[in-house]
Amino acid sequence: MLSSYEKMIILKKSLSAWQSPEFKKVFQAEVASLDDTLLPLQEGLSYANFADGSDMSVLILNQAETEKLLIIKTGIFYQGLIAGCHCSDDPTPPDSHTEYCEVSFEIDKKTAETKALLI
């Protein structure tokens, strides 16, 4: 059974670009364009209450290949929001902090189905 952050991700462009000079650029763009709820950003929070991956930056730390998988270890920078209770007497506006987590992407070499696992 897939956990909440292991929802179905398909990275066809990244799989097609593997071992090409464009791989890094294609992979970073494809991951950055994903719905942030598909990634384990909420689980990776260190300082904030809520993850906001609308402006995330993806850094490739390592890449490897097995018989069946491409394994891409990444560092992801994104914003985390610290929000007050939003009560009528709470003057605290939402505050954001830069968050960082490491995520391993396991791309199936036949189907491009991808798991994103928090490291």
Q: Is residue 51 part of a domain?
A: yes
Cα atoms in the Cβ-side hemisphere of radius 13 Å centred on 94:
11
Neighbour tally for 60: CB within 10 Å: 15
CATH classification at residue 106: 3.10.450
Give me the mean pLDDT over the 8-22 stretch: 95
Give me the mean pLDDT over the 1-18 stretch: 77
Token output for 19: 């071992």
Q: Is residue 104 part of a domain?
A: yes
Q: Is residue 41 part of a domain?
A: yes
Q: Is residue 28 part of a domain?
A: yes
Residue 56's pLDDT band, with cuts at 50, 70 and 90, is very high
**Confidence at residue 93, expressed as pLDDT on a 0 to 100 scale:** 60
Q: What's the rounded Cα separation, in Å, for the pair 102 and 118? A: 6
In the predicted structure, residue 47 carries a pLDDT above the cut 80:
yes
Q: Tell me the residue range of the domain where 53 lies.
A: 9-118
Inter-residue contact 71 to 106 (CB < 8 Å):
yes
| DSSP-assigned beta bridge partners for residue 64 | 71
Stated pTM of the model: 0.84
Q: What's the rounded Cα separation, in Å, for the pair 113 and 81? A: 30
> Which residues fall within 8 angstroms of residue 54, CB to CB, at 6 or more apart?
36, 79
Q: Is residue 2 part of a domain?
A: no
Digit-coded pLDDT (tens) for 72-114: 999 999 998 887 655 665 566 667 889 999 999 999 999 999 9
Q: Is residue 30 part of a domain?
A: yes
Q: Is residue 1 part of a domain?
A: no
Digit-coded pLDDT (tens) for 26-36: 999 999 999 98
Q: What's the rounded Cα separation, in Å, for the pair 119 and 40? A: 10
| Total count of domains within the chain | 1
Q: Is residue 3 part of a domain?
A: no
